[in-house]
Structure 1
Amino acid sequence: MMPQQSSDNRQHQRRLPVSIRWFADLRVNDNGHEAPARRVTCERIDMTTILYRLGRFCARHARAVTVGWVVLALALILAGSRFDGGNADAIAVDGSDSAVAQTLLDRAFPGRSVDPSPVVVEAPSGKLTDKTYQDALNATAERIRDIPGVSAVSGPPAAGTPALSTDGRTGYLTVTPESASAATVDLAERVRDATAPATDAGLDVSIGGQLGQQLSKSPVHTSELIGIVMAVIVMLLAFGSAVAMGVPILTAVLSVGSGLALLKLLGNAVDIPTVAATLATMIGLGVGIDYGLFLVVRFRRLLAGGLSAEEAAARTTATSGGAVVFAAGTVIIAVCGLALSGVSFVGWLGYSAAIVVAVSLASATTLTPALLGWLGPRINRFSLPGSRHRTTVADHAELDTTVWARLAVRVAKRPLLTALAATVVLLALSAPVSTLRLGQMDSGKLPTSTESRRSYDALAEGFGPGANGPLRVVVEMVDPATAPPGAKNAAGQDPRAQDPRLVALGAVLADTPGVREVSAPVVSADSAVAVFSVTGQTSPSDESTVELVHRLRDTTLPQALAGRGAEGHVGGLTATKADLAERISQRLLLLIGAVVAFACVLVLLAFRSLWLAAKAAAMNLISIAAAYGVVVAVFQWGWGIHLLGLDGPVPIESYVPMMMFAILFGLSMDYEVFLLSSVQEHWHATRDNRRAVSLGLADTGKIISSAALIMVAVFASFLINSSPIVKMFGLGLSVAVAVDATIVRCLLVPAVMVLIGERQWQLPPLLDRLLPRISIEADPAAFDPPPVAAAAGEHLPTDDEDTVAFTGHR
């Protein structure tokens, strides 16, 4: 027997979204029979419910939420400025030979194991050994030694020392920070200020190494401003309203500012790479503005449909907010997948981006609905003259009149031809990726105006290009190093360096092909470890330098130390980056496989289709391959490289492809989900696959294009950054998004969906029973009350078992 329900209760149940499952009221007594005196109501909460209630709460308390966000953001920014932990580019590849070498150095030379930064000095006339210059250099060295955070400073270059060039006009001091994390911008600026005696004496001074890189960082504020201005223009044209445009801009700026402040605070506990903040800014601005765009579009349509501001904001959060949560979650998990590299440096590049995206997500689901609820109809104020923009949901007839509909019809008429043409273009863009070579960047690729480049050029001219990246050969001895009988104790030299094993090894190292110079060994206090500085004949970025590293490890050291009770390792930044490139090459396929598998599972759960899951993975992969191809053609081949302000081809830093893949796969899922959600909605309405694809493209084409244009503008604005690595990310990400939003989403995806046909909406019965049902974006109409109350005892309308009434019978 069907228990009766009141009209109020039935209407209350119908106001909730379809994805909320309510169980009908049960009236039971202790014996299990019906008893009107007792009622039990059970409710299952899901993401749509949570987002709906969150959006409604924020809209209802709009002023408090908005003020709270502003206060929190300002507090974080102030705290980040006050307690900035700085950046550290210390790279350690666990389990590698360079990591073993660094461990030995840390243990044997505490406080002096960090790679030193050279302070290069050039005499415009005369020689550095002239008394005037020597006095100035001595004063400079003393001032640098007094700086907190400096562990050691080598003496000024003098005659007969390796620190003086053969012509006597170029030399260097070395500055060793106390730790890798101590090599901050503040320390670098203090060191530069301490060189005043040398510059006052007329010497040309430039700083290299880690300290020089800190001084050579290009500020990102200009790129941020350009990206924001371009986003403003695009959204003004898309929205036709200055107020509507301002909401995504405000939320993105606050979220990015808060996220970067969190990174500064985290810098006190962990090593945050220097480039992490720049990448996080690029991604944070792009996704933050895009998320705001999607939410504002939905809100204006719901508002135009007659809803109150509070209800429209709540439904916006429950519907488009669900897609935002899905997209942001995909990006976060994808970039966190960089931890699979096994390298902390690369992992924190991903974590940093994930933190900023997470803050952007929090802003989109709380601050944005608060602003929308606060503004209400004022969201359409300050419209552009003559602007006419649709804010209501278009019916099928209206969609058929759009430019996107005409494009969709053409694609649907010739799906095979369209798919083949798009594939040919994408394969052409992807072709250069077959020649991709992972390498390492050095300061010789930076603009000539930067501090690091000036230091690099001066060292290369005076001491050869290899002086910019010396290798550190670390020898661990079972028997301590000892001075041989009768060894002379020369001034400034350690007699233990004359140990026959070390002397013999030094000679072998000097005779190794590719070696330009070998320093005298430095022996640890316990005489168990010795370290040689080996200068190669080629620059750190040259492939010959990597070959030298492997030659030393595989041949020179094993042969020279065999049977001598000693073991040699090759370390230093140059060797570490070679190990990083090798590790990335080993782990890249693992990352790709893990991220692709994860994305396929998400699409399978969201759209319940094996075809759509496989298609989404394939489309995303081909978009990323096209981006890789363009990056290789421009940076590795040198096509148009001068347009980016670089002198010539540069190596592709080893972690760039891995980082790009994680970011782009996450971002591509954003547009994929948005398009598929619309196509699926029209499929349920029409049950005509070709028609659903056309309507889905017509309904989302403008929004996807606007969002992609904003993302491209933000990413491309970072091409003006002086760092070639940032330029790589800027070009690769902007090209990938442009290709993904045009050739892939507007041509290839619709064509493939038409070719697959209706089977893409079917799932094998076994999987259909096993897989849980999740909903990305609820239908706003599901929140509406029914026009007529159901009669007593009548079943509530159901949608694919989303509502189940328990009546005692199943």
Structure 2
Amino acid sequence: MSGTVRPGTGGRRRGLVAATAMFAARQRWLMVAAWIGGLVVLGFLVRQFGGAYADNFTLPGASSQQAQDVLQQRFPTQAGDSANLVVYAAKGVQSAAIAPRYQQLVTQARTLPDVTSVSPPLVSRDGRYAYVVLQYDHRSSSVPDSSVQALERLADQANGSGLQVEVGGSVVSAHEGSGQDPYETVGLIAAVLILLLVFGSFLVMGLPLVSALVGLGSGLLLVGMAARVADFSTITPSFVAMIGLGIGIDYALFIITRHRQALAAGASVEDAIAGAAESSGRAVLTAGSLVVIALMGLYVIGIPFIGNLGAAAAIVVAANVLLALTLLPAILSLLGRNLDRWRIRRLYHDGSAQDTEKGLGHRLSQQIQRRAWLWALAGTAIPLVLALPVLHMQLGFSDDGNKPQSFHSRRAYDLTAAGFGPGFVSPLVVVVERNGGLDQAALQRLQSGLQRTDDVALVSPPDPNPEGNAAVLCVVPRTGPSDPQTAALVHRLRGSVIPPAVAGTGTQAYVGGGTASLVDIVSRTQSRMPLFFAIVIGLSSLLLMTIFR
């Protein structure tokens, strides 16, 4: 790889990475101005033309996606998501003291904004619980916050005097806990303390953090522009923040540490930057490229929202690599030999060879070299022991039952499970369609077959659309949405219950709903994982062979 010739090196050429870093160091004010200007322009473009995050989960080819597509086409008023209104009264919801208040509550629910229909109340066998479904005309992420807040206010105002009212379901869950996540702040505080203990200098501690924050900010702005042409989930900012902060600090530390070591050895600022870029800079470029390959490889899974999450993280990683090789050398050049100012005397380490030899890491490395086989065995055994839980790992998503008790959806989940069973929380939806009109005999066979299936607690009567060419049946499992038996039930319905009931009639039936979608996501992920590893490892190996020849 060609580059510039380094003075005093016998004509040996610098690589492209070092040449780029040296250009940034010599044109430091220009580089800083370019980054500031670029961020300002990006911010303006995102404000004017950027897209919005949206939870548009699709599973191309999956039965649950086909069910959703039929609902959108045949039942447009049911294609949106729903909320649940759950009531508990120790005296009974139909008692003289509670019934008028409960009926008024249901009447008020019908007038809530964006609610298209309210199901007839379902009362538990002991009469103490009641359950109502509120159908909305949009998907959860598209329902306005004000509409969800109106529903929560209705529940809060009705609570008390022997009546407990809670609201849950996908519409409520999607809008809970959407405020600022505190974990990034906690992580930053921990990083500040660790870096301060390691280096003992406020300036050296702050530079990796500033570098990571600028890299994360620029990456998020780029993702904001990409959101105009692709769907990025609402969890994207939190997801990429975890990756971006860690990688940004890590990449900056690679270069800063090597730069300080060269300065402590007596090198000039320019030579220290060149040496850090030639060694650590190349490592940053290689590591960043491998991470980008792995993240972009998530598209192989075949689930668009997972692939888009990987693409967003890859953009942030690439931004951090670019920053580490351009803006960071410019800042190091501006600081010159003042990098170690504002130090804490008792904690300070100058990074010199003599200082390094006094450290714990140096002493530990000597111990490892003396007993190499012992440490090799321990280094292999400990990770294997820690990885044992993987053998019993169950892939899936957490449900409302895992949320804090302070959430409406958690309390609604608990009431629903107590009054109607865990499967009632997220029932399966069987969507049936037939061009030219439904075959009533096939529909009856299907309902009977579903009712006779093990692990099915309840099957609702078919609910046809006005045209009579599609119908919906709700199937309530005996187990909860995250229970392995529920996943087995979904596969059994698709494989051995539904096909015989509709065979030869031209009727199509699909198992959908939130629980079935999660089952499809897990199945798709498990089936594509070997291909994902093969492609990522293969491309990474080719890249490493190209770099190291």
TM range (shorter): 0.7 to 0.9
TM-score (norm 2): 0.87
Task: Report what 2:198 is aligned to.
Answer: 238
* 1:87 has 2:54 as partner: yes
TM-score (norm 1): 0.61
Do the aligned residues in 1 keep the contact of 2:211 with 2:252 (CA within 8 Å)?
yes
Do the aligned residues in 2 keep the contact of 1:284 with 1:356 (CA within 8 Å)?
yes
Task: Report what 1:641 is aligned to.
Answer: none
Q: Secondary structure at the match of 1:527?
A: coil
Q: Deviations over 1:187-207 (max 9, x none)?
A: 245323244344323354433
Do the aligned residues in 2 keep the contact of 1:92 with 1:576 (CA within 8 Å)?
no
Q: Deviations over 1:744-775 (max 9, x none)?
A: xxxxxxxxxxxxxxxxxxxxxxxxxxxxxxxx
Do the aligned residues in 1 keep the contact of 2:438 with 2:469 (CA within 8 Å)?
yes
**Aligned 1:244-393 pairs, distance under 5 A:** 244-264=204-224, 266-267=226-227, 269-304=229-264, 309=269, 312-313=272-273, 316-392=276-352
- Aligned partners of 1:10, 1:165: CA distance in 2, in Å? 85
Q: Secondary structure at the match of 2:504?
A: coil
Residue 198 and residue 320 in structure 1: after superposition, are their counterparts in 2 closer, same or farther (change >3 A)?
closer
* 1:68 has 2:28 as partner: no
Residue number among 97, 103, 120 corresponding to 1:134 in the alignment: 103
- Aligned partners of 2:481, 2:272: CA distance in 1, in Å? 58
| Counterpart AA for 2:47 | A
Task: Report what 2:475 is aligned to.
Answer: 534
Task: Report what 1:561 is aligned to.
Answer: 502
Residue number among 69, 77, 86 corresponding to 1:120 in the alignment: 86
Q: Secondary structure at the match of 1:447?
A: coil
Task: Report what 1:192 is aligned to.
Answer: 149
Task: Report what 1:599 is aligned to.
Answer: 540
* Deviation of the 1:69 alpha carbon: 6.0
**Structure number, greater radius of gyration:** 1
Q: Deviations over 1:478-531 (max 9, x none)?
A: 44038xxxxxxxxxxxxxxxx443334323322222222222323234432222
Residue 100 and residue 215 in structure 1: after superposition, are their counterparts in 2 closer, same or farther (change >3 A)?
closer
Task: Report what 2:63 is aligned to.
Answer: 97
- Aligned partners of 2:29, 2:118: CA distance in 1, in Å? 65
| Counterpart AA for 2:33 | A
Residue 524 and residue 180 in structure 1: after superposition, are their counterparts in 2 closer, same or farther (change >3 A)?
same
**Aligned 1:772-783 pairs, distance under 5 A:** none
Residue number among 18, 27, 32 corresponding to 2:13 in the alignment: 18
- Aligned partners of 2:6, 2:489: CA distance in 1, in Å? 77
Task: Report what 2:427 is aligned to.
Answer: 470
| Counterpart AA for 1:294 | F
* Identity, % of aligned positions: 33
- Aligned partners of 1:456, 1:165: CA distance in 2, in Å? 18
Task: Report what 1:224 is aligned to.
Answer: 184
* Deviation of the 1:315 alpha carbon: 5.2
Task: Report what 2:438 is aligned to.
Answer: 481
Q: Secondary structure at the match of 1:206?
A: strand
Which structure 2 segments of 5+ residues have no match?
A: none
Residue 535 and residue 588 in structure 1: after superposition, are their counterparts in 2 closer, same or farther (change >3 A)?
same
**Aligned 1:393-432 pairs, distance under 5 A:** 394=353, 403-432=360-389
- Aligned partners of 1:169, 1:71: CA distance in 2, in Å? 56
- Aligned partners of 1:422, 1:278: CA distance in 2, in Å? 32
Alignment length (residue pairs): 540
Residue number among 117, 133, 144 corresponding to 2:113 in the alignment: 144
Task: Report what 2:22 is aligned to.
Answer: 52
| Counterpart AA for 1:86 | Y
Do the aligned residues in 2 keep the contact of 1:215 with 1:451 (CA within 8 Å)?
no
Q: Secondary structure at the match of 1:503?
A: helix
Q: Secondary structure at the match of 2:241?
A: helix
Do the aligned residues in 1 keep the contact of 2:436 with 2:469 (CA within 8 Å)?
yes
* Deviation of the 1:331 alpha carbon: 1.1
Q: Secondary structure at the match of 1:378?
A: coil
Q: Which structure is richer in relative contact order (CA contacts within 8 A, separation 6 or more)?
A: 1
- Aligned partners of 1:549, 1:63: CA distance in 2, in Å? 57
Residue 387 and residue 432 in structure 1: after superposition, are their counterparts in 2 closer, same or farther (change >3 A)?
closer
Q: Deviations over 1:363-414 (max 9, x none)?
A: 323332232222222221111023442344x3xx886665544443443344
- Aligned partners of 2:431, 2:382: CA distance in 1, in Å? 51
* Deviation of the 1:300 alpha carbon: 2.6
* 1:437 has 2:397 as partner: no
- Aligned partners of 1:16, 1:163: CA distance in 2, in Å? 87
Do the aligned residues in 2 keep the contact of 1:144 with 1:153 (CA within 8 Å)?
no
- Aligned partners of 1:70, 1:227: CA distance in 2, in Å? 24
* Deviation of the 1:266 alpha carbon: 4.4
**Aligned 1:698-717 pairs, distance under 5 A:** none
- Aligned partners of 2:366, 2:264: CA distance in 1, in Å? 29
Q: Deviations over 1:507-557 (max 9, x none)?
A: 332222222222232323443222211111111111111121122112221
| Counterpart AA for 1:61 | L
- Aligned partners of 2:356, 2:205: CA distance in 1, in Å? 24
- Aligned partners of 2:5, 2:423: CA distance in 1, in Å? 79
Task: Report what 1:458 is aligned to.
Answer: 415
Do the aligned residues in 1 keep the contact of 2:140 with 2:171 (CA within 8 Å)?
no
Do the aligned residues in 2 keep the contact of 1:325 with 1:361 (CA within 8 Å)?
yes
* Deviation of the 1:424 alpha carbon: 2.5
* Deviation of the 1:75 alpha carbon: 5.1
Task: Report what 1:210 is aligned to.
Answer: 170
Residue 413 and residue 199 in structure 1: after superposition, are their counterparts in 2 closer, same or farther (change >3 A)?
closer
| Counterpart AA for 2:206 | G
Which structure 1 segments of 5+ residues have no match?
A: 1-8, 21-45, 483-498, 609-810
Do the aligned residues in 1 keep the contact of 2:464 with 2:471 (CA within 8 Å)?
yes
Residue 205 and residue 280 in structure 1: after superposition, are their counterparts in 2 closer, same or farther (change >3 A)?
farther
* Deviation of the 1:450 alpha carbon: 2.5
Task: Report what 2:448 is aligned to.
Answer: 507
| Counterpart AA for 2:30 | H
Q: RMSD across aligned C-alpha pairs, in angstroms?
A: 3.3
Task: Report what 1:154 is aligned to.
Answer: 118
Q: Deviations over 1:73-118 (max 9, x none)?
A: 7657x839x9672331x44332222222222222222353244232
- Aligned partners of 1:250, 1:211: CA distance in 2, in Å? 38
- Aligned partners of 1:123, 1:267: CA distance in 2, in Å? 46
* Deviation of the 1:589 alpha carbon: 1.6
- Aligned partners of 1:179, 1:17: CA distance in 2, in Å? 62
